[in-house]
Every structure is written in structure tokens, then in C-alpha cells.
Chains A and B, each alone.
Chain A
Amino acid sequence: QQQVKQSPQSLIVQKGGISIINCAYENTAFDYFPWYQQFPGKGPALLIAIRPDVSEKKEGRFTISFNKSAKQFSLHIMDSQPGDSATYFCAASRWNQGGKLIFGQGTELSVKP
């Protein structure tokens, strides 16, 4: 059972464009939704995270939009740059499970110059 579904699997965006990656979750007990960025040969690194009491969080060019009723959240990368080319993972966890993360399948983003 896949608890966090992520789409698309891959994404090609022109430099300066907006990259949008979507995730849907099933377990309404999840209370923490981070996004991780992974470059080839490296481990995932936390990019931005949101809790369900807010609908949007913005950090620089990165924004999470959260829709609790639809059980969906998305990552928006504004003014996408070639350096943003990486694999992005959404995840979800419950506070009372010690931070145990359930990851989506990942989206490979390629930003063309």
C-alpha cells in the first residue's frame, strides 16, 4: 500500500519557468510534510516542510501548497534554474512515530537552459 503518491515521475521545464510537483496522501494522521532534494551521488537533503495547520509556506523560490481536505500538497519552484535539476521527494510522517518518514516515489526534474 503506497501511502504517499507523487507525480509526475519526470518533469522538463525551461529556465525561468515554474516547476510543479504534486503529492497525495492517504493517512489523515500525518502531521508533517517535508520535501527533499537529491542530487546524483548524494543523499536527500531537506528543502522545505509544512504542517497541516497552514495552507502555504514559502522559502525563497520554493513554495509548498497544502490542501488538507483533498489530502494533497505540492511543491512549486519559481524561476526554475538549471541548478535545480535534481530528484525531488515528498514525504509524510506522524509526530508520535518518531519522525518515521514515508516517501513518495520521486520526481526527476530537468531544467533546460
Chain B
Amino acid sequence: DAGVIQSPRHEVTEMGQEVTLRCKPISGHNSLFWYRQTMMRGLELLIYFNNNVPIDDSGMPEDRFSAKMPNASFSTLKIQPSELRDSAVYFCASSLPRGNQPQHFGDGTRLSIL
């Protein structure tokens, strides 16, 4: 069974550039979550979607971050413009709907802003 697929696995870019991270959830999972992991702040939920609709984006740090889910099998997280402090590992996770279902994580995108 294919799990959650994230791309790219690694991204290195210069400060000020636009960064787009991609996620393909597990087929049939109607909930999708974007997390950021850093040593200082641990695992933080940025935003989550139910049935392609953003439900809670209170974790999105600022307007430079945006996320979309145009269909049930694809989501993007965009940072524009990127800053040094955005360096982190970004995870996408998906689950069945209706709350408190196991979340299945991808292997993440390691983002380095130079």
C-alpha cells in the first residue's frame, strides 16, 4: 500500500525565494494535515483540511505561508518569500475523517534556507 508521499525530500534554497512543498495523501483519507518539526518547537500543526476544505489554519506562522488542496489526492504548502527561520522538516499526514483517527505521516521534506 502506498503511504503518504511528499516531495521533494530535500529542498535547499536562498532566502527570499518561493518554496513549494507537495503532498499526496493515502487514497480514501479525507483529512490532511501539515506539520513543521524543529528542535526548538517540536512538532507543530500548521493547517489541516477535511474534504479539501481548510478547517484550522491557526498554526500557520504568518501570511508568507499558504496551503491549498485542489483535490482529494494533492496538497501544497507554499512559503513566499522564504526566510532563514523557515528551515525545518515539514511533514504531511493524512487520516480517515471524523476525528481521532490514526494519522499516517509522510517522510517529510527537509527545507534549508540559506
Name A residues whose Cβ lies closer than 8 Å to a Cβ of B.
31-32, 34, 41-46, 49, 89, 93-106
Contacts and interface: CB of A to CB of B under 8 A. Distances in A.
Contacts, number: 64
Interface stretch (B12-20, B68-76, B78-86, B97-105): B97-105
A98 B93 contact: no
Residue with the highest number of chain A CB atoms closer than 10 Å, among B43, B93, B100: B100
B42 interface: yes
Given A89-B42, A101-B103, 5 more contacts: A34-B102, A94-B99, A96-B99, A97-B99, A99-B48
Contact of B106 (A43, A97, A98, A100): A43
Given A42-B107, A43-B93, A97-B56, A105 B99 contact: no
B26 to A, nearest CB: 12
21 contacts: A32-B100, A41-B107, A43-B4, A43-B108, A44-B43, A44-B91, A45-B104, A46-B104, A49-B102, A89-B42, A94-B99, A94-B100, A98-B97, A99-B48, A99-B101, A100-B56, A101-B103, A102-B45, A103-B42, A104-B42, A106-B42
B112 to A, nearest CB: 15
User: In terms of DSSP, what is the predominant structure of the interface of chain B?
Assistant: strand
Interface residues of B, number: 25
A98 B107 contact: no
